């Protein structure tokens, strides 16, 4: 017996609202962007790739689950972007039209939990492949992943020198550790600044607090590191600090890479991270940093690291992380 039925496409055309995807429905890609092969993202304004790797942490693991948590959290902004007449951003007081930019999700880079070197090679290759085509957005993963991602961006985009703006509780300038070796999440900025594409005087760090090595301020002066501690943020205001930080990173470089370690935010706001440090940025301050950076022409890539969902069952850390990335992309492409 045969029955007449309506085709799915016919139903979608007929039913008002059928093409609006609710934030909790559909595939968990970043901003509900279409899935894409990493070799074929050149037609998009930005391409997201996950790095589910946390074997270089020195404290609490769990950031391997960060990419998928951030993707899921980003669905809310994808839902809002469905408004055909655009949106008013009440923070920036700007009109936003998400139809102006296209973001795709290239899935996850292969990682090798027992092999730092091979994992770094994978991250470097995937970041470079995206950078030669479009704006890379990496979601980690622990902060070790930023070093090969930074190098991959420089290689793929054809830059000789790249500045770094790092929002973080810690400087990650350790040359190594007797326990963790030379390649761990506390050494990424050291590797960047002493590598082929970076230098300490083109690194700007925002939100640093807690403890560092003896005579660290002398180290910063000697190397030219642009250091903006939480005392600077509290004393000068986040807008002035963010503007000075990106200008210093952009000076005499071809582009700026932004890395946001979520532990730069106070753990009362973002508890889901491996190395929480009290006294950090508020959500407002963190978003203000990304608003400033997203409006600067030199910024060519961004990553978000150290979101560890097991330590935040409410998901507020992943939501803030997603909002931080959305904010930078919005300022760059949708205003």
Residues making up the annotated binding site for Mn(2+) are 143, 168, 170, 172, 261, 263
Known binding residues are 143, 168, 170, 172, 261, 263
With beta carbons less than 8 A apart as the criterion, state whether 241 and 206 touch: yes
Strand 46-51, strand 135-140: pairing: parallel
Residue 16 structure tokens: 């008002």
In 3D space, the residue among 317, 193, 314, 309 whose CA is nearest the CA of residue 260 turns out to be: 317
Residue 166 to residue 118: CA distance in whole angstroms: 24
With beta carbons less than 8 A apart as the criterion, state whether 267 and 221 touch: no
Residue 50 to residue 36: CA distance in whole angstroms: 13
Residue 270 to residue 276: CA distance in whole angstroms: 9
Q: Quick one: which H or E segment has residue 166?
A: strand 162-167
């Amino acid at each position: 017996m045969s029955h007449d039925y309506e085709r799915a496409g016919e139903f979608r055309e007929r039913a008002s609202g059928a093409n609006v995807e609710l934030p909790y429905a559909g595939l968990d890609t970043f901003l509900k962007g279409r899935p894409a092969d990493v070799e074929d993202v050149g037609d998009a304004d930005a391409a997201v790739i996950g790095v589910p790797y946390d074997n270089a942490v020195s404290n609490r693991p769990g950031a391997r689950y960060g990419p998928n948590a951030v993707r899921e959290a980003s669905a809310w902004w994808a839902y809002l972007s469905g408004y055909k007449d655009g949106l008013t951003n009440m923070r920036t007081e700007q009109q936003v039209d998400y139809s102006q930019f296209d973001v795709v999700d290239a899935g996850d880079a292969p990682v090798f939990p027992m092999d730092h070197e091979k994992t770094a090679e994978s991250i470097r290759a995937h970041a470079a492949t995206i950078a030669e085509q479009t704006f890379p957005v990496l979601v980690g993963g622990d902060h070790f992943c930023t070093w090969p991602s930074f190098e991959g961006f420089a290689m793929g985009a054809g830059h000789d020198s790249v500045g770094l703006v790092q929002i973080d509780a810690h400087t990650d300038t350790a040359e190594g550790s007797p326990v963790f070796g030379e390649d761990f999440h506390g050494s990424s900025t050291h590797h960047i600044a002493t590598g082929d594409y970076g230098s300490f005087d083109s690194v700007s760090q925002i939100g640093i607090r807690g403890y560092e090595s003896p005579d660290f301020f002398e180290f910063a002066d000697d190397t030219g590191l642009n250091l903006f501690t939480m005392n600077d943020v509290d004393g000068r205001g986040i807008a002035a600090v963010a503007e000075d930080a990106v200008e210093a990173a952009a000076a005499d470089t071809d582009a700026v890479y932004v890395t946001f370690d979520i532990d730069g935010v106070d753990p009362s706001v973002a508890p889901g991270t491996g190395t929480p440090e009290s006294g950090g940025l508020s959500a407002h301050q963190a978003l203000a940093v990304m608003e400033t950076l997203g409006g600067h022409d030199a910024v060519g890539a961004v990553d978000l690291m150290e979101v560890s969902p097991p330590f935040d069952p409410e998901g507020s850390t992943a939501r803030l992380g997603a909002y931080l990335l959305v904010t930078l992309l919005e300022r760059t492409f949708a205003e």
